[in-house]
Amino acid sequence: MGKLSDKALLKIFRYYLDASPRLWPRLVQTCHKWRRIVYASQQVLNLQLFCTHGTPVSKTLDYWPTLPIVVNFGGSPALGPLAPEDEDHIMAALRQSDRVCSISLTITSSLLETFSVIEGPFSKLEDVVLLSRDSMQLTLPNTFRWGPRLRSLHLIKIVFPVLPLLLHSSRNLVDLRLHEVLNIWHVSPSMLATALSGMAQLQSLSLHFLSVANHITFPFPSGKRIILPALTRLDLRGTNAYLESLVAGIDAPGLMDISITFFDMYILDISKLRIDRIGMHKSHRRADILSSERAISISLTQPGAPTRLKLQVLCNTLRSQSLFISLVCRHFSAFLCCVEDLRISTARPLSGQDDGNR
């Protein structure tokens, strides 16, 4: 490649790093010319320092230029727990808070104790995934802050008292997932709606609760409903009272994929869940009804198009499941009128016996 121009080499480098972004050090270690081109094009090539398992983070930060930092130690239930030495590497990277652009972490109680020593907000942070493996939810300290550049936030079994305040200033969010939320008051419908207002770029919203007391009610939002013009996917799991209050405050005209799971059939008043008010394509041609020992769901889809409406309720008797399907047919007739293909299947064992409430 000695005869190639700098411009041609740069194009080759971009193609190479698009597929393998972590391997840019190989380029700068090849020859002086390549090193010069790469370092002169740091932003074009999107150079980043990747701090992950097996990385000597302190040495890496000292040796390489002051590039944006990606911290990746877990953040997925499929990955194993942190090694004892990982926590030191994590903290060495997080202390460079003004350089960290992405965080994917499996949080432990011991690691959480050291978070309070981090000074300064993560002003360049764009992506966050935080997962707790503990049996209890873990609470992040209020000192953990990000700036307006955040685009993706995934919290799994993580409590963050100042989350609504930070969300209100996170206008560039594209993907928001709050999963295994135990305490509804950390993200009540009114607080969440207020936090989401003004998120013109939000495309995906996923909110899963672990459990909620059935007797709790939520007021309907007063004033104008918030408009989420870019929202295409909505995934909710909770009680009807919470979901009804939340949906009542949202206007999402571009919504194409809705998935809602209710906890309990016996307190379900599906007529109040006005999905048709938040905008949803209604020309579904296929309906799939799936019954299992613990739940029943109905999915409406348009073959060949990215549009889906899935409603599910957690109940374990055929009587309750039949009632749920009856309610869906009665209150969502506008979504069922175009169905041409109906498929019914079951995951129940053929020899199994119900509890007598059929």
Locate 320 and state its tokens. 């309750």
> Do strands 308-314 and 257-262 pair parallel, antiparallel, or not at all (unpaired)?
parallel
The larger pLDDT score, comparing residue 120 to residue 258, is at 258
Q: How many CB atoms lie within 10 A of CB 34?
A: 18
In this predicted structure, what is the pLDDT of residue 244?
A: 78
Locate 318 and state its tokens. 């055929």
User: At residue 192, does pLDDT exceed 60?
Assistant: yes
Angle, in degrees to the nearest 10, between helices 189-196 and 240-248? 30
User: At residue 99, does pLDDT exceed 50?
Assistant: yes
- Whether residue 145 lies inside any domain: the answer is no
Domain count, the chain: 1
In this predicted structure, what is the pLDDT of residue 194?
A: 81
User: At residue 354, does pLDDT exceed 60?
Assistant: no
Q: Decide: 347 and 292 in contact? Cβ < 8 Å.
A: yes
Residues 6+ apart with CB under 8 A from 35: 27, 28, 29
| pLDDT single digits (tens) 2-44 | 588 899 999 999 999 999 998 999 999 999 999 999 999 999 9
**Could you tell me the pLDDT band of residue 322, with boundaries at 50, 70 and 90?**
confident
* Maximum average pLDDT range among 73-77, 222-226, 246-250: 246-250
Q: Decide: 262 and 317 in contact? Cβ < 8 Å.
A: no
- Whether residue 342 lies inside any domain: the answer is yes
Domain CATH code at residue 336 = 3.30.420.40
- Whether residue 128 lies inside any domain: the answer is no
* Maximum average pLDDT range among 119-133, 254-268, 309-323: 119-133
In this predicted structure, what is the pLDDT of residue 215?
A: 55
The torsion of the CA quartet 194, 259, 129, 49, rounded to 10 degrees, works out to -110
Grouping H, G, I as helix, E, B as strand and the rest as coil, residue 21 is helix
**Could you tell me the pLDDT band of residue 216, with boundaries at 50, 70 and 90?**
low
Containing structural domain, residue 353: 281-358
- Whether residue 290 lies inside any domain: the answer is yes
Share of residues in the chain with pLDDT > 70 (%): 84
How far is the C-alpha of 108 from the C-alpha of 133, rounded, in Å?
A: 7
Average pLDDT, the chain: 82
What's the average model confidence in pLDDT over 272-300? 77
- Whether residue 98 lies inside any domain: the answer is no
Locate 353 and state its tokens. 């016996």
- Whether residue 190 lies inside any domain: the answer is no
How far is the C-alpha of 227 from the C-alpha of 134, rounded, in Å?
A: 36
Burial 117-130 (b: 16+ CB within 10 A, else e): ebeeebebbbbbbb
Give this prediction's pTM: 0.85
How far is the C-alpha of 315 from the C-alpha of 273, rounded, in Å?
A: 19
| pLDDT single digits (tens) 153-178 | 999 888 887 888 888 888 999 999 99
- Whether residue 191 lies inside any domain: the answer is no
Pick from 274, 271, 221: which is nearest to 252 by CA? 274
- Whether residue 285 lies inside any domain: the answer is yes
Q: Decide: 234 and 265 in contact? Cβ < 8 Å.
A: no
In this predicted structure, what is the pLDDT of residue 270?
A: 63
Of 55-69, 72-86, 236-250, give the lowest mean pLDDT range. 72-86
How far is the C-alpha of 99 from the C-alpha of 122, rounded, in Å?
A: 8
Of 134-148, 257-271, 298-312, give the lowest mean pLDDT range. 257-271
